[in-house]
Amino acid sequence: MDFSLLLVVAVAFTGFIWLLDLLWWRPARRRAAANAEAGTTEGLDPVAREKVLKEPWPVDYSRSFFPVLLVVLVLRSFLVEPFQIPSGSMRPTLEVGDFILVNKFTYGLRLPVVHTRIVEFNEPERGDVMVFRFPNEPAVNFIKRVVGLPGDTLRYESKQLYVNGEPVPKRLLEEGPAGAPNELLLAEQLGELEHQIYNNPRDPGPQMREVVVPEGHYFTMGDNRDHSNDSRYWGFVPEENIVGRAFAVWMSWNGGLPSFTSVRRIQ
């Protein structure tokens, strides 16, 4: 279900009903009240007048909901949109059940539903955690880390990522960390900031020969390198599929009560 489409339809419908009332129905009710008052020497009593002027329930609901829906549409489409992490492909950076905030204007403003970029700002940078519509199923949103920019040459062999012929620096932090006893916790330097990844030494994982990222596309990988369905399997992310850059975790909820103790910026 496309929530953006439902929201746009709801805004258009409630706005249309409210506009019809402002232009035609409300003046008609006022004329009806004036005509009724003209037909009596004492004028209408307050109850009768209120009954004549009372808004029909569709108008009442539309007038109440239209401003709220419009604000939600603008905020969600052009500023910030919340998402929930459904899988462990971005561990240890993001855990299952994390609720994240995605900056919708970092990479430019896009129209809702059609996703056409109308204002250009920045382009994705290597190391960004990016939300995008899955190329094979655009109704599904994915979140991965950008590792390859247009024109980059990439290779992934023996759990080592190479960008433009150079190995991406990484260092071991811990063997068998809490919550992931079969993994190695490593710090990887991709872009300007260092982030953490998991590698499983007993899992050969995918191997990827050298590929070149085409113009207008990006190559993404999950931080949980041996448990991530990413560009190594299905290819590149087109620019038009970009949703925004994930920048913060504001809540975690994976059963039980929501937790706000893990509020943090996303590196």
Say which of 62, 77, 89, 228 is annotated catalytic: 89
C-alpha distances out from residue 151 to 102, 176, 225, Å: 26, 36, 23
The secondary structure of the chain as a DSSP string is --HHHHHHHHHHHHHHHHHHIIIIIHHHHHHHHHHHHHT-SS---HHHHHHHHPPPHHHHHHHHHHHHHHHHHHIIIIIEEEEE--SSTTTTTS-TTEEEEEESSTT-EE-TTT--EEE------TT-EEEEE-TT-TTSEEEEEEEE-TT-EEEEETTEEEETTEEPPEEEEEES-TT-TT-EEEEEE-SSSEEEEEE-TT-----EEEEEPPTTEEEEE-SBTTS--SHHHH-PEEGGGEEEEEEEEEEE-SSSS-B-TT-EE--
Under 8 Å between Cβ of 266 and 245: no
* 89 noted as active-site residue: yes
Say which of 62, 77, 104, 144 is annotated catalytic: 144
* 262 noted as active-site residue: no
Task: Please write down the long-range contacts of 43-51, taking CB distance under 8 Å and 24 or more positions apart.
Answer: none
Show which residues are catalytic. Answer: 89, 144
